[in-house]
C-alpha cells in the first residue's frame, strides 16, 4: 500500500508540474525579404570593320569609336566601308557597371590589341583596364568599340581575317 501511495504521489507531482506551467514555449515567425533587379544583358549590334587594306603588307590599323581607320607602320587603306563595333547594354536602372576588354585572339596573321570604348556617348578611352562606376544601363545604353589590328604581311589578295576580343560588363 505504501508503494501504491508513492506511485500516486509521483503521478500527482508530475501532473501538477505540467499544469502549473513549469515547461513553456514561445514562437515567433521571421520574414525573409528579397529584392530582385534586372539581369545584365549584352546585344551585339555590329562587329568592327576595317574595310579593305593592302595585302602582303606589314602594318597596323587603328579604328576609333567613330569608325575612322588610321594606318601606320606600312599599313595601306584601299577602300571599303568601315564601322566601329557596337553593343547595347541593358540591365538595372540603379546599379553602375564596369566595362573591360581582353582575351585578344589573332586570326590569319592579324592580331588585335588596345581596344577603346565609348559608353553612352562619353569620350572614348582605353578599356583594357576596367572602366568603373559607369551609369546604370537601364533599358539600354550603347557601347561603341574601336581597336588596333596588326597585320604580319602574310595575307594574300582576297583573303580575310577575323581576329576577336572579349568585352566584359559587370555590375559594380
Domain borders along the chain are 41-155+162-171
Rounded Cα gap, residues 98 and 136, in angstroms: 10
pLDDT of res. 3? 54
Mean pLDDT of 154-164: 96
Q: Is 171 helix (H, G, I), strand (E, B) or coil?
A: strand
CA distance 19 to 25: 14
Contact (CB, 8 A) for 116 and 124: yes
Rounded distance between C-alpha atoms, residue 40 and residue 147, angstroms = 24
**pLDDT for res 16:** 53
Mean of pLDDT over the chain = 90
- The DSSP secondary-structure symbol of 164 reads E
For residue 13, the model assigns a pLDDT of 45
Q: Does residue 142 surpass a pLDDT of 50? A: yes
Amino acid at each position: 500500500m505504501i508503494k501504491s501511495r508513492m506511485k500516486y504521489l509521483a503521478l500527482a507531482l508530475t501532473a501538477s508540474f505540467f499544469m502549473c506551467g513549469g515547461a513553456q514555449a514561445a514562437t515567433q515567425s521571421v520574414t525573409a525579404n528579397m529584392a530582385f533587379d534586372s539581369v545584365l544583358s549584352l546585344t551585339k549590334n555590329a562587329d568592327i570593320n576595317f574595310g579593305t587594306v593592302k595585302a602582303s603588307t606589314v602594318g597596323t590599323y587603328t579604328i576609333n569609336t567613330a569608325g575612322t581607320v588610321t594606318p601606320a607602320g606600312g599599313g595601306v587603306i584601299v577602300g571599303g566601308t568601315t564601322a566601329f563595333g557596337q553593343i547595347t547594354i541593358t540591365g538595372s536602372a540603379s546599379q553602375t557597371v564596369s566595362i573591360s576588354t581582353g582575351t585578344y585572339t589573332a586570326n590569319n596573321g592579324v592580331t588585335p590589341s588596345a581596344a577603346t570604348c565609348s559608353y553612352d556617348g562619353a569620350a572614348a578611352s582605353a578599356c583594357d583596364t576596367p572602366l568603373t562606376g559607369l551609369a546604370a544601363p537601364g533599358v539600354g545604353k550603347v557601347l561603341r568599340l574601336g581597336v588596333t589590328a596588326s597585320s604580319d604581311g602574310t595575307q594574300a589578295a582576297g583573303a580575310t581575317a577575323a581576329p576577336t576580343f572579349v568585352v566584359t560588363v559587370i555590375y559594380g
